[in-house]
Structure formats: C-alpha cells, structure tokens
Amino acid sequence: MSPNAESTAFRSALEVIRAVEPRVADAIGAELADQRESLKLIASENYASPATLLTMGNWFSDKYAEGTVGRRFYAGCQNVDTVEALAAEHARELFGATHAYVQPHSGIDANLVAFWAILADRVESPALKRAQARHVNDLTEADWFALRRELGDQRMLGMSLDAGGHLTHGFRPNISGKMFDQRSYGTDPATGLIDYDRVAEAAREFRPLILVAGYSAYPRKVNFRIMREIADSVGATFMVDMAHFAGLVAGKVFTGDFDPVPHAHIVTTTTHKSLRGPRGGMVLCGPELADQVDRGCPMVLGGPLPHVMAAKAVALAEARRPDFADYAQRIVDNAQALADGLLRRGATLVTGGTDNHLVLIDVSNYGLTGRQAEQALLDSGIVTNRNAVPQDPNGAWYTSGIRIGTPALTTRGLGTTEMDATAELIHTVLSQTTAGTGPDGAASKAKYVLDPAVAEQVGKQAADLLTPFPLYPTVDLA
C-alpha cells in the first residue's frame, strides 16, 4: 500500500461528498476532529480501521440480498454471497463456532434473531409436529391462535439491569420484555459478583425457556460452564450476549470456562465494540439452531446490509491476526491499571476492580449522581457515560455510577502509564465537583458546580495525554 493511500482515499471521498452537500462533508471532518481531541472512555465504543470504514462506502449498499448465501430471493447476489460467506468463515474460525450468521444490523437485532430461533425450535416446531403440519400456513385458525398464545407465554431469566444486564434481555421498555415473562438475577450485595447458587435457585423456581448471560456494565468475568449447567438443570436454552466482550473472546483473553462459545447453545454479539469492526451484529450457534437462525431475515430483520457484511469480513480478518490477541490483552491491562489508579486515589468501584474492559465507579462517595459526574467530566474533555450501580437509589436516568472502558484508548495506543494519569484526571474532576441546588434551594440530581479553571486545566492535561497517540495517524485530511 502506498504511504498516502488512506489519506488520499478519505480526502477524495470528502471531495466527492462536498460537491453534493458540503455540510455533510464538513460534519464528517468535524467528527474526526472531535474524536481525535477527546479522551474517549465509553466502554462500548472503539475506532474501526480505515480498511473497515472504507469498505462500507460503496455500491454493495445498493443491493438487496434477502435470503442466505446461495439461496437468495433476488437475482444477482453472487458478490454479496462472496462477502457474506467470507464474513461467516472468519467468524467461525475466529470464535471456533460451527455456524455464524452475519446479517444482523445491530445487537438488538442479533438478540431478536436468537430469541426467535429459540422460540421456533422449542415452541413452534413441536406445535407444527403435534398438528402434523409442515408450515405455519398449514395450521387451522384454532391451532394458529393457540400457537401465537404459546409463543407469547414463554419465560426468560437474565441479569438485572442495575447489576449490569442489558435492556434487550427481557426488560419491559424493550420489545424483548413485551415478548417474554422475564425475571432477573442480580449480584451479591456484599461483593457485587454473580452468585451462581442464587442464579440456580432462581432458575429452579422460575423454569425459564431461555437463560441469558451477558452484560453491558458488569466489570467481571462470567463462568459460562456453570451457567450452562444451570440452564441444563432446568431444560433452558443457554444464550450469551457477548457484545461487550467479544474482542476479549476473539483475542483469547477469555478462554475455558470464560469463553461463551463452547458452552452456550447460541451466542450473539455486536461487531463494533471491543471487536473493533463496523456497527452491526452477529449470531453464532451449533447445527441445532443454524437453520432457524438463518431465517433472521425477513423474520425480524430488514434486508441485509451487504456493505456492512463486507466490512465485517475485513474487521474479522483483522481480528484473526496475532496482533489482535495482544490488543485484547492490553485492553484488560489498561482497565486494571485504570481501576488500580482510581482505587489508590480513593474511588469506590463496583466489585472493587475489573477483569474485563470496563470499570464502574460508584460516584455517590464523591457526593454526586452519575449525571453530574458525567457532565463534569465532559466539561473537562473526558467522555464517559453514566450508568446505574447495583440497587441504585438514583434510578436509570440520574444513576450513581460512571462506566468507563478502555477498548478505544487502547486502539489509540495508550498504555498503563497513561491509564494511571487518566485515573488522576478523573479523580481530580470528581473530587472537585459538588452537587448543585435547584431554584428552590433543594439538592439537584443534575446541577453541579465545577470551577471552570479546573475543567480547563484537566482538559488541557487530557489533550496532552493524547498528543503522542494520534488517532488515525495515517489519515491526513488537510
């Protein structure tokens, strides 16, 4: 590749876009500038490679490709077949899975595909067999009515939201909560850790069709072997949503009992978080669920996005390179350095530390809500997101936590020394911010007071921290 290839590619693309709608070209350039300047600690974000980004901007976007590789409902899908097959092959090899379905557009889509594959396998197929029908269209009105009720009357057991679970694991505001009767398991209030005996007890009492493991704000490993044993003991299908930590599985940081793929019946993920690919989702499973999973489109998905599947193939090829394992290990080393740095300075962390890519700070000890802390950090050039902590008294909007993660800064090249410096900046902001009051003088959960000079000084230090680690160093738009 010529030394200027990436700069030339992005500059040319912007020139073409600018000729049609200059405001969009400007916004794209501004987004790169913003990302370059901010200390990004959002645990679910990353920076995809130039190759992955460029793969998404082409004529694959124009093609409809409903169906699966070699079995499409549209003509002319031979090139889409090539990229979808490649993405699936890379996914299977990378994760050691028998089957990979790379069409989901996002994590929620991947989860919906998985839920409906399980429902089809466990509820619909037996009902068809009982009615001696081959297809739902062959059922009588009465049998169809009964099947619809049965499909809507299934149970799911997943991790509670405030313990770090995800909205798409059966919570009421999400479609999954309207589909399933859901119960959740939390964490031990003393340790903040999953108590597997309690999960087993909940499973015995509730007898779910689906046991879900996976999280977006739990800073520890999950023992998937034990979770599978629990699922088996009650006849549940075991599903793992590894969206947050797929990069750690791909990079072989999570192995053995902590690798979900050998233990779960079905695994879902996004491709853009620690896996560092394009925005999208994916489902992995064994042969038993493969046919049902492949019905994801049009069951719950709109037409596949071939340009994104092509980008998944590129990113998954990158993740199969040996340096990705090194990257994954550095994500965890950095998270642990960040956690240690915060603990040494007196911060309170949920579970007392981390063994994955994220850290959850309980900011109530600083006298702040998550919302106040999030905004004060943002004023100081540090981008995070507020998050509930277990048994959070401030609810899901204001919260009492700040979630921080290291995949993005690790991609930029920051290491453990910079993580300690980052801990110092975070602690400085949080310890110098005070809760504000509302117009009536009452304590506010949103207002806060931070000396602008402190915010400016921390912002400058954050920028200095980033200077030796330019984002996309091979891309010069000037």
Query: What's the closest the beta carbon of residue 468 comes to ligand DSN, in angstroms?
Result: 28
Name which of 83 and 338 has its Cβ closer to ligand DSN: 338
Residue 377 vs 465, nearer CB to ligand DSN: 377
167 assigned ligand-binding residue: yes
124 counts as catalytic: no
Does 68 sit near ligand DSN (CB under 6 A)?
no
Rounded distance, CA 462 to CA 39, Å? 6
Considering the candidates 37, 66, 150, 288, report the single residue annotated as catalytic.
66
Does 370 belong to an annotated binding site?
no
Question: Which of the residues 55, 268, 269, 270 is marked catalytic?
Answer: 270
Q: Which of 6, 109, 162, 241 is catalytic?
A: 241
- Residue 374 a catalytic site member: no
Closest CB 149 distance from ligand DSN, rounded Å: 30
Q: Is 70 helix (H, G, I), strand (E, B) or coil?
A: coil
x-marked contacts with ligand DSN along 362-401 as a string, rule CB under 6 A? ----------------------------------------
Residue whose CB is less far from ligand DSN, 357 or 427: 357
Hey, which bits of 80-179 come out as E strands? 99-101, 154-159
Q: Which is nearer to ligand DSN, 206 or 245 (CB)?
A: 245
- Closer by beta carbon to ligand DSN, 216 or else 369: 216
d(CA 117, CA 418): 44
Q: 38, 176, 216, 369: which one contacts ligand DSN (CB under 6 A)?
A: 216
Give me the amino acid identity at 79. N
Whether 270 is a known active-site residue: answer yes
Instruction: Please say if 66 is a catalytic residue.
Output: yes
Strands 401-405 and 385-387: antiparallel
C-alpha 257 chain-centroid distance:
21
To the nearest whole angstrom, how small is the minimum distance from the Cβ of residue 338 to ligand DSN? 17
Q: Is 237 in the site for ligand DSN (CB under 6 A)?
A: no
CB under 8 Å to 165, separation ≥6 — which residues? 158, 159, 171, 184, 212, 214, 215, 216, 218
Near ligand DSN by CB under 6 A: residue from 44, 268, 336, 372: 44
Q: Give the DSSP letter string of 254-320.
A: S-GGG-STTT-SEEEEESSSTT--SS-EEEEE-HHHHHHHTTHHHHT--S--HHHHHHHHHHHHHHT
Let me know if 241 is a catalytic residue: yes
Q: How far apart are CA 461 and CA 467, in angstroms?
A: 10
Tell the smallest beta-carbon distance from residue 216 to ligand DSN (Å): 4
Pairing of strands 210-214, 154-159: parallel
* Count of other CB atoms within 10 angstroms of residue 14: 18
User: Is 86 assigned a ligand-binding role in the annotation?
Assistant: no
Provide the minimum distance between the beta carbon of 107 and ligand DSN in the complex, in angstroms, as a whole number.
Answer: 5
Token couple for 165: 């679970």
Interface with ligand DSN (CB under 6 A), residue from 107, 165, 214, 407: 107
Q: Which helix (H) or strand (E) holds 14?
A: helix 5-18
Measure the CA–CA gap between 356 and 43, rounded to whole angstroms. Answer: 10
Is residue 398 among the annotated active site residues?
no
> Nearest distance from residue 269's CB to ligand DSN, in Å?
11
Q: Is 274 in the site for ligand DSN (CB under 6 A)?
A: no
166 appears as a binding residue in the annotation: yes
Are 77 and 84 within 8 A, CB to CB? no
Give me the residues paired with residue 184 across strands. Answer: 158
Q: How far apart are the first and last CA of the chain?
A: 20
Residue whose CB is less far from ligand DSN, 45 or 143: 45
Indicate which residue of 273, 312, 403, 412 is catalytic: 273
Binding residues for (6S)-5,6,7,8-tetrahydrofolate: 161, 165-167
Give the residue numbers marked as catalytic.
64, 66, 241, 270, 273, 279
Q: Which residues bind ligand DSN (CB under 6 A)?
A: 44, 107, 216
